[in-house]
Amino acid sequence: MRITPALPLLPLVLLLSACQQPQQATSSASSSTGGHKPLPPQVSTVPPEALDDVPPQAPLPSAQLEVKKQEQSAPAGALRNKDIRIAESAAPMVEEPAPDWTPPPANTEVYDHLKRNSVVSVAQDPISTFSIDVDTGSYSNVRRMLNQGTLPPADAVRVEELVNYFPYQYPQPVVATGGKVQPFTFSTEMAPAPWNANSHLLKIGIKATDAATTSLPPANLVFLVDVSGSMDEPNKLPLLKNALRLLINQLRPQDKVSLVTYAGGSRVVLEPTTDREKLRNAIARLQPGGGTAGAAGIELAYRMARQGYLDQGINRILLCTDGDFNVGISDFNQLKQMVEERRKSGVSLSTLGFGEGNLNDRLMEQLADAGDGQYAYIDNLNEAQKVLVDEFSASMATVAKDVKLQLEFNPAQVSEYRLIGFENRALKTEDFDNDRVDAGEIGAGHTVTALYEVTLVGQAGRLPTPRYAPAAGKPAASPATNSNELAFLKVRYKAPGSNSSQLLTSPVWKQQIKPLTQTSDDFRFAAAVAAFGQQLSEDGKYLGRFGWDDIIRLGEGARGADRFGYRAEWLKLARLAKSLSSSKPQARSLPPLYPVPQEG
């Protein structure tokens, strides 16, 4: 708001008298005759003693009192200049209307509300079923907010996506009977939970068959690009164009690409082509403007994908947008149903999110889920490099679809369990064997990690003991209940192009439990990231006294080889989250659980 000084009474009188002096001088000059000289200019038309009779509106500042003492002896010009300076510097201040100011746009980002998984009694519900998830969008979005100095909203934190952002060194798939290689293998590891002495952490790790880019089948890709007015920001369309240039450099001669854009309407910029230079030029010319007719763009992209369809190839749409659909169909459920219907054509849809302020994370994540694809959020060019270059095979080629996990706990050995994350991937128990129920896909080379916190029989649990229910640990009518089998793991999946599922099984034995210090780096690092996510999403509801320092220490001791530096970057984010959370009371840090490597 601009401030303008108000003239005090004394200088105002002097200024008014000074303004009259030129008229007096002119009048004297015009009336003079012969050798008469003009009269000297008057200092003031008000006698000095009369000024004392003027009632002041407020006490005069000391600077003005000093002027009053000197005004009779000072030259007129000096008085005028002095009065003006005093009026500008020492006078009372009054407010003027502020110039027009446009407030920053409101944050309209949309996230799916998650009802976090709670502790479950094995006696009441021994079976846990969920779909796998290979999305990573939540992690990079959380990273963006932390780097901007803001803690993320709880619903923006999907813990499983934080954990699965990182690659893990799980066993490679082996050759099965008959020389056929399974599309993936899975393993388990178990140790005391870092944050609860009365519970254990069970890690399930899945590793998909890796494939070199050169061995992948030919690809038919459609770049569906949002060029609406909302994309006119540096971290939206300009970043998107640079990301697609990285992907174009990965394409092989047998791969073809279509380019479809949408704003107020949709149009085909390029029909299926293998001309890389033509594609680069078309992307370079993209300009933002207009509304966001996302539904029309999706429809057109599926038509182009069908036009270039490859029977034995990769057929995928890459939807690149902030998700802010505002023209045509914008209802979440209608859009999701449309994509679910179109996936039956054999074309997958993956989403790449860009920008901030109006990001519709909920829509992006759910469209990718409905389209048999994955969701990634691109907050910088390094993330584009990770998703579209380093993980090209995993992002483009599916080795298994509709992958479901089911874990049945032995009530004679386990009293409670809690699945960490996967809230919006939960399935009903009967959905596991139903091949008509959709589930997640896993790409070539992908790793998937799931974590359960479990309480063994005899340990203090979190749930109260029911008054009338059977006591925990009472054997059920099963031969396995008296053994050392803690749980039985089942994984169901379909091969690409098949509508019939296959089943893999494995027991989880009590003998697998080892001290936390003897677990793998992958186990401890995944546990640290899971604790990080729980602090951000639930304020450490289940972590007890396990605070930020403990989380950071656990991750520091489990960095491992860290080929791409992802784990080192996470440590910086964890320290940043600790600083941003410093206004909250911090739990007392626990002593180290294992030695931390010293910096060399």
Q: Are 171 and 164 in contact (CB under 8 A)?
A: no
Q: Which residue bears the tokens 């007015």?
A: 229
Task: Report pLDDT for 481.
Answer: 54
What phi, psi does 579 have (nearest 5°)? -65, -45
Q: Please tell me the pTM assigned to this model.
A: 0.79
Indicate the residue type of 175: V
pLDDT of the residue at 102 = 55
Cβ 406 vs Cβ 437: under 8 Å: no
Which tokens is 145 given? 């907010």
Q: Are strands 314-321 and 348-353 parallel, antiparallel or unpaired?
A: parallel
* Joined tokens for residue 379: 């907050």
Do residues 421 and 159 make contact, with C-beta atoms less than 8 angstroms apart? yes
How far apart CA 311 and CA 308 sit, in angstroms, is: 10
- Give pLDDT, residue 600: 37
Q: Which residues, 6+ apart, have CB-to-CB distance to 372 below 8 Å?
A: 343, 348, 349, 398, 401, 438, 441
Complete DSSP assignment for 100-153:
P-PPPPPP--B---------EETTT--EEEEE-----HHHHHHHHHHHTT-PPP
Q: For the chain, which residues make up each domain, given as ranges?
A: 3-30+38-95, 180-211+398-460+477-549, 216-396
Reported CATH class of domain 216-396: alpha beta
pLDDT tens digits, one per residue of 548-590: 999 999 999 999 999 999 999 999 999 999 999 985 544 334 4
CA distance 209 to 528: 26
Three-state DSSP state, 170: coil
- What phi and psi values does residue 548 have, to the nearest 5 degrees? -60, -40
Which CATH number is 180-211+398-460+477-549 given?
2.60.40.1230
Which one, of 168, 112, 160, lies nearest residue 133 by Cα? Answer: 160
| C-alpha atoms less than 13 angstroms from C-alpha of 250 in its C-beta half-sphere | 22
Tell me the C-alpha distance between 11 and 60, whole Å: 11
Q: Is 453 exposed, middle or buried (0-12, 13-18, 19+ CB in 10 A)?
A: buried
Residue whose pair of structure tokens reads 């007129």 in the numeric block: 76
Per-residue pLDDT of the chain (600 residues; tens, 9 = 90+): 444 444 444 444 444 454 444 444 444 444 434 444 343 444 344 444 444 444 444 444 444 444 444 444 444 444 444 444 444 444 455 555 555 555 556 789 999 999 999 999 999 999 999 999 899 999 999 999 999 999 999 999 999 999 999 999 999 887 666 667 789 999 999 999 999 999 999 999 999 998 776 688 999 999 999 999 999 999 999 999 999 999 999 999 999 999 999 987 889 999 999 999 999 999 999 999 888 778 889 999 999 999 999 998 999 999 999 988 765 566 778 889 999 999 989 999 999 999 999 999 999 999 999 999 999 999 999 999 999 999 999 989 899 999 999 999 999 999 999 999 999 999 999 999 999 999 999 999 999 999 999 999 999 999 998 777 655 445 444 545 558 999 999 999 999 889 999 999 999 999 999 999 999 999 999 999 999 999 999 999 999 999 999 999 999 999 999 999 999 999 999 999 999 998 554 433 444 444 444 433
**Which strands form 414-420's sheet, in the order they lie side by side?**
120-121, 414-420, 447-456, 200-208, 184-192
